[in-house]
Amino acid sequence: MTRRLDGPERYTVVSADCHAGADLLDYRPYLPQRYHEAFDAWAADYVNPFTDLMAPEATRNWDSDRRLAELEQDGIVAEVVFPNTVPPFFPSASLTAVQPTAAEFELRWAGLQAHNRWMADFCAKAQGRRAGTFQILLNDVDAAVAEVRRCHASGLTGGLVLPGVPPGSSVPELWSEVYEPLWAVCAELDVPVNHHAGSASPQLGEEPAARAVFMVETTWFSHRALWHLAFAGVFHRHPALKLVLTEQGSGWIPGVLDMLEYYHRRLVGAATRAATAESKFGVGLAELMGDGPRAAWERNCFVGASFMRAHEVPMRDQIGLDKIMWGSDFPHDEGTYPFTTEALRTSFAGVPFEEVAAMVGGNAARVYGFDLDALDAVATKVGPLVDEVAQPLTEVPPGATSPVFAKGASVRVW
């Protein structure tokens, strides 16, 4: 945040949810030479299914100077960068891809590592302004652990993108003890574990109803990582581990925490009563978890609250003011660009300065290791004006496409 003598002037905005990736052929140099022939054959036949990666706007995924300029124009001084473009050997975006079969694993793994190497170079072009995330696959936990160490050493401070495990997946569910080395290395190196929406949903098909159901359910499937890790005792064994649930909304959190606490108490209590119908469901749970799910949330968890909507903001104390990290979702159509100030007005008008400053920048700086003092210096020139954000938005800007502006999604009673 930046201040004038008589009070705050501008916010220092760090987007906890942005996306980037290389142009398709630019991944080739990041692959080991033994995969070049296979890459050339794959790239020659590849048909891009995403119109936004073919339009002139696609260059903002990999054009560092353009990206910095557009983010600054929108009032954003730093970003956590998730994947966006299609890495080698994937049929579509890797962020939403299911875990590969054993036959697919070698090439897909090489493709993800190429993306990770590209991401490190991309973030190095804007030192201190980008926290790049990196991807793994869960088919080979030892290889995943080695990639965590390599990516951490390469300067990717955004942390691990945890793949989703939909029901019926070819790999174990996230609560499985097979992943213990992964949690251990992330806790050891202080690497945030990010679980982004879209990667945990089962494939439902292309019928109109299937597509609608996917949209309704996709965030719920992403929420599952929270209770899988909590009931597996991961947070109890690794109290320093950070789990970030990104682009899943935030209004669901208080109710889900109440539900998880209820089941925790119910199952632990049942385990102490012999010969009841429920006693077997809670056996060993108290020892495994230590404390309850709410304590784990308060100690270990954060939310990447992309384009946080107005009706969610009054829940901030129930969610945890220190847990919320606003995100713009740049450069997606549902993101707030180029109307970030208007989006902030929609959500945060009337909220005290110190609280807004934490949610739009301070919390993300702490979780992802940004130098907030250095970012403040940039924000003095480009950050959204505090006085402007304090004014409720009365008219949606023409051309705004973010759900934060949708009718009924951001209604606040004044």
**Cβ partners under 8 Å of residue 84, min gap 6:** 19, 20, 21, 53, 61, 93, 95, 331, 332
Which tokens belong to 92?
């579509």
Instruction: Look at residue 410 in the predicted model and tell me its pLDDT.
Output: 42
What integer is the mean pLDDT of 66-88? 97
Instruction: Look at residue 374 in the predicted model and tell me its pLDDT.
Output: 98
Instruction: Look at residue 273 in the predicted model and tell me its pLDDT.
Output: 82
Instruction: Look at residue 199 in the predicted model and tell me its pLDDT.
Output: 83
CA angle 75, 12, 301 (to 5 degrees): 115
Instruction: Look at residue 98 in the predicted model and tell me its pLDDT.
Output: 83
Which helix (DSSP H) or strand (DSSP E) does residue 272 occupy? none
Give the Cα separation of 268 and 180 in Å (integer).
23
What integer is the mean pLDDT of 226-244? 98
Domain boundaries defined on the chain: 2-405
- Longest CA–CA separation in the chain, Å: 69
Give the Cα separation of 320 and 343 in Å (integer).
21
**Cβ partners under 8 Å of residue 100, min gap 6:** 108, 109, 137, 139, 170
Give the Cα separation of 12 and 375 in Å (integer).
7
Identity of residue 384? P
- Torsional sign, CA 311, 71, 127, 20: positive
Among 79-88, 207-216, 273-282, 338-347, the range scoring the smallest mean pLDDT is: 273-282
CATH number of 2-405, picked from 3.20.20.140, 3.40.1080.10, 3.40.50.2300, 3.90.230.10: 3.20.20.140
Question: Rounded to an integer, what is the distance from CA 303 to the centroid of its chain?
Answer: 8
- Torsional sign, CA 340, 365, 18, 356: negative
Instruction: Look at residue 179 in the predicted model and tell me its pLDDT.
Output: 98
* Residue percentage of the chain with pLDDT more than 70: 96
Instruction: Look at residue 232 in the predicted model and tell me its pLDDT.
Output: 97
Q: How confident is the model at residue 408 (pLDDT cuts 50, 70, 90)?
A: low
Which tokens belong to 1?
């945040």
Instruction: Look at residue 78 in the predicted model and tell me its pLDDT.
Output: 98
Model pLDDT for residues 4-50, shown as the tens digit of each residue: 445 569 999 999 999 999 999 999 999 999 999 999 999 999 988 88
What integer is the mean pLDDT of 363-387? 97
Which residue from 220, 203, 135, 195 is spatially nearest to 169, judged by alpha carbons? 203
Instruction: Look at residue 277 in the predicted model and tell me its pLDDT.
Output: 82
Identity of residue 191? V
Helix-strand-coil percent breakdown of the chain, rounded to 5? 50, 10, 35
DSSP string, 389-408: HTSPP-SPPTT---GGGSTT
Higher pLDDT, 315 or 93: 315
8 A C-beta contact, residue 64 and residue 134: no
Model pLDDT for residues 111-153, shown as the tens digit of each residue: 999 999 999 999 999 999 999 999 999 999 999 999 999 999 9
